[in-house]
Chains A and B, each alone.
Chain A
């Protein structure tokens, strides 16, 4: 039996603060794995992957969920709060600062250039989003029915503009029934 050192709340929040502030442009999960599994050894790979599966299953930002999962596993409620505060606290502060700069820039010199640059960033950010969809679809959609379900959700919400609270109560039961049916045989 191998015993793992139980991290202090301060160590947990510090680790997640460094993850939160060093993962620009996405790809945060890789940072979490490097810090928690490889550097600190607080979880092994299997525990990490199980938590990652949970984080994707439950609603909410995957990496925030993963932080809460890891905190819960290691130190219960205080651990979950320490990880959540570490991961989201510093970005919350930088977001409020960036937000006041952005919303306060009207009429300032350079506004036109910033606006242009942001249009370019936005175009790329939409591409990153669609690219993420393609990557996810490649790794987990293998059959026609799930592909149709994904396409229905994408078009009804993204193009026709139906609210999620209308689409999901219809599509989640359909998807559950399809998954159950495909596993029966």
Chain B
């Protein structure tokens, strides 16, 4: 039990420090560790908790809490929460203190310019790894493609798309 808690702690603390481009970019690594390495969840369960964490209130990185909870109960969920949110928050706090001075430094523009494509690549990696990490049926791929285009090029609220996707599968029976 304690061993699992340490595994959770190190997994999420390390990923917390490399989650460039928002929290979702580390999901491929969470997926590999939780599904393939430690077998805490099945691939379908992982996609389900991704869907729940994306639909429920709060930051999407709460997916860490579901992984921890499945691996080691409420204690696991709490350890995953602390490991996922505290290290990056400490970094933000210290950077925030010197941020106004950094605003006028030329290196800041270079760092911003350099990290943008990294974060964008990580964002796409999450979608790609979730789509091919699960036994996706044709209908699911069609829904994913439609949701991608609608979200990218219109201003339809994401919650409407989520409701539509869930209802469509229920109505057609998969």
Contacts of A60 on B, CB cut-off 8 Å? 16, 19, 23, 61, 85, 88-89, 91-92
Given known pairs A116-B170, A141-B120, the reply for A129 and B24 (CB within 8 Å) is yes
Which residue of the partner chain, among B28, B115, B119, B151, contacts A128 with CB atoms under 8 Å?
A: B151
Q: How far is the CB of B80 from chain A (nearest CB, A)?
A: 10
Q: Say what secondary structure dominates the interface of chain B.
A: helix
- The A/B interface has a contact count, at CB < 8 Å, of 376
In the complex, the answer to whether A132 meets B151 with C-beta atoms within 8 Å is: yes
Which residue of the partner chain, among A25, A132, A150, contacts B118 with CB atoms under 8 Å?
A: A150
In the complex, the answer to whether A61 meets B61 with C-beta atoms within 8 Å is: yes
Given known pairs A64-B59, A136-B123, the reply for A59 and B88 (CB within 8 Å) is yes
Q: How many residues of B contact A (CB 8 A)?
A: 106
Bound complex: CA A58 to CA B23 (Å): 10
Which residue of the partner chain, among A25, A72, A122, A178, contacts B96 with CB atoms under 8 Å?
A: A72
Contacts of A24 on B, CB cut-off 8 Å? 55-57, 159
Given known pairs A24-B57, A72-B97, A128-B151, the reply for A175 and B114 (CB within 8 Å) is yes
B residues engaging A (CB < 8 A)?
Answer: 14-26, 28-29, 32, 44, 47-62, 65-66, 69-70, 74, 77, 81, 85, 88-89, 91-93, 95-97, 99-100, 103, 109-132, 134, 136, 139-141, 143-153, 157-159, 161-162, 164-170, 173-174
Residue A7 CB within 8 A of the other chain: no
Bound complex: CA A150 to CA B120 (Å): 6
13 A-B interface contacts by CB (under 8 A): A24-B56, A57-B112, A64-B85, A88-B85, A95-B69, A125-B51, A127-B161, A128-B161, A149-B117, A149-B118, A150-B120, A154-B125, A158-B127
In the complex, the answer to whether A127 meets B28 with C-beta atoms within 8 Å is: no
In the complex, the answer to whether A165 meets B147 with C-beta atoms within 8 Å is: no
Per CB-CB distance, the 9 closest pairs between chain A and chain B, nearest first, are A91-B58, A127-B147, A153-B121, A60-B88, A131-B151, A158-B128, A158-B125, A120-B169, A61-B23
In the complex, the answer to whether B119 meets A102 with C-beta atoms within 8 Å is: no
Q: Mark A24-57, 1 if CB is under 8 A from B, else 0.
A: 1111100000000000000000000011011111
A residues engaging B (CB < 8 A)?
Answer: 20-28, 50-51, 53-65, 68-69, 72-73, 77, 80, 84, 87-88, 90-92, 94-96, 98-100, 102-103, 113, 115-138, 140-141, 146-147, 149-159, 161, 163-165, 168, 171-172, 175-176, 178-180, 182-183
Interface centre among A24, A118, A128 (most CB of B within 10 A): A128
Which residue of the partner chain, among B53, B85, B174, contacts A116 with CB atoms under 8 Å?
A: B174
